[in-house]
């Protein structure tokens, strides 16, 4: 465990023993939260009910196994008794046959003894029952309901909390699958294993394993006319996240959309459309440029326009030639455009 620059788990065995590089370092806080959540789930009343149900099923299986073993022991006893009778009846003068029957009898006795000892050992282990009495179960339920509040008490130091975790957990195995996903294997005292995953924070959207996929999807939704809030909700629903959160914030959508020069459409532009004319926003969307790109070139005189009957609005002829001219200007095929002759009332 390392506490410098934030709590983190560090695999430094090679670094200490062979002066090698660090194997990996993982953020501790999300891992600890996941392990504690699994501990609370294991100590819940619902888990107790599952445990009692599993113990009932195990007891039924043990009973069936006991009956099978008892039948096996009875069969071995009969075989040993039969071997003994055969040995007793043989003529002592027939030494070869007597020796073989004695060997079979001793072999039957050894097999019987092994089966009886195995049966007794298993019964002894079963007698050391850890079944909970009704009082124990009620105490467990009361304690489990108070456990979350106990965990949050400021006077409970971390050492006592770790001791509580170790009462049920044998060890925790961590592995970074990709940069933004860590696999956690919790090995419980009774041998069961629980696997979970956490998604730690990363430094940027590009560090997410699905970052590029999310950006493409975000632009696609923006072009469909969804606003930023709708896009954020849709991406979160589809399983995407931001570099710092487990969901997609609206601000992340805004940043990505603006970086890709995709204009926001809070209301449909065509609701203000004037027949025969294109506004700056409409022309920018049709020619795949930004509004600021067009306005900047108007201010510089690269694009010349003429005032029209709507003094507060810049209008362009609604024609394919207008869009083509803007695209040629963007690609460098043309150095300036003049719409003063065609922009009439």
180: pLDDT confidence band, cut at 50, 70 and 90? confident
List, as one string, the DSSP characters of 207-273: GSTTHHHHHHHHHHHHHTT--HHHHHHHHHHTT---SSSSS--HHHHHHHHHHTTPPP-SS-GGGGP
Average pLDDT of the segment spanning 11-17: 64
Q: How confident is the model at residue 135 (pLDDT cuts 50, 70, 90)?
A: low
**Residue 162 CB neighbour total at 10 angstroms:** 11
Task: Look at residue 269 in the predicted model and tell me its pLDDT.
Answer: 43
Contacts 24+ apart (CB under 8 A), 150-157: 151/36, 151/40
| Mean of all residue pLDDT scores within the chain | 79
> Which residue did the predictor score with more confidence, 149 or 68?
68
DSSP-assigned beta bridge partners for residue 303: 337
Query: Which residue has better confidence, 92 or 317?
Result: 317
For residues 16 and 46, the model is more confident at: 16
What is the arithmetic mean of pLDDT over 199-210? 86
**pLDDT value of residue 54:** 57
Report the share of the chain in percent with pLDDT over 90. Answer: 13
Residue 46 scores a pLDDT above 70: no
Q: Contact at 8 Å (CB) between 244 and 237?
A: no
CA dist 67 and 74 (Å) reads 11
For residue 51, pLDDT over 60 is answered with no
CB count within 10 Å of CB 180 equals 18
Tokens of 131: 């079944």
Smallest CA-to-CA distance from 196 within 11, 36, 303, 24 is with 36
Contact 179, 198 (CB under 8 A): no
Determine the average pLDDT of the residues in 242-270.
78
Residue 14 has pLDDT above 70, yes or no: no
DSSP 9-74: EEE-HHHHHH-----EEEEHHHHHHHHHHHHHHHTSHHHHHHHHHHHHHHHHHHHHHHHHHHHHHH
Q: Which residues of 194-230 are buried (b: 16+ CB within 10 A; e: fewer)?
A: beeebebebeebeebeebeebbebbbebbeeebebee
pLDDT at position 12 over 80: no
Residues with Cβ within 8 Å of residue 127, at least 6 apart in sequence:
none
């Amino acid at each position: 465990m390392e506490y410098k620059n934030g709590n983190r788990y560090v695999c430094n065995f090679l670094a200490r023993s062979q002066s090698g590089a660090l194997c990996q370092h993982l953020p501790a806080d999300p891992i600890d939260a996941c392990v504690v959540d699994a501990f609370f789930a294991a100590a819940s009343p619902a888990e107790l009910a599952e445990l009692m149900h599993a113990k009932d099923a195990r007891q039924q299986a043990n009973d069936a196994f006991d009956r099978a073993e008892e039948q096996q022991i009875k069969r071995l006893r009969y075989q040993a008794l039969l071997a003994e009778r055969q040995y007793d009846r043989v003529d002592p003068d027939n030494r070869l046959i007597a020796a073989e029957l004695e060997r079979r009898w001793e072999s039957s006795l050894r097999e019987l003894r092994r089966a009886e000892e195995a049966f007794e050992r298993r019964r002894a282990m079963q007698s050391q029952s850890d079944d909970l009495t009704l009082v124990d179960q009620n105490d467990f339920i009361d304690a489990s309901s108070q456990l979350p509040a106990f965990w949050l008490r400021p006077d409970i130091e971390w050492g006592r909390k770790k001791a509580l975790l170790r009462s049920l957990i044998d060890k925790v195995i961590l592995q970074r699958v990709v940069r933004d996903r860590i696999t956690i294997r919790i090995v419980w005292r009774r041998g069961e294993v629980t696997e979970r995953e956490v998604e730690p924070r990363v430094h940027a959207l590009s560090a997410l394993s699905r970052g590029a996929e999310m950006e493409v999807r975000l632009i696609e939704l923006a072009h469909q006319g969804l606003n930023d809030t709708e896009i954020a909700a849709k991406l979160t629903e589809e399983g995407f996240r931001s570099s710092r959160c487990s969901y997609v914030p609206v601000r992340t959508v805004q940043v990505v959309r603006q970086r890709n020069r995709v204009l926001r459409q809070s209301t449909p532009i065509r609701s203000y459309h004037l027949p025969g004319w294109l506004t700056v926003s409409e022309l920018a969307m049709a020619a795949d440029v930004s509004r600021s790109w067009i306005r900047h070139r108007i201010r510089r005189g690269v694009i010349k326009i003429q005032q029209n009957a709507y003094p507060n609005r810049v209008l362009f002829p609604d024609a394919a030639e207008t869009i083509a001219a803007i695209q040629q200007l963007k690609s460098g095929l043309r150095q300036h455009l003049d719409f003063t002759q065609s922009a009439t009332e």
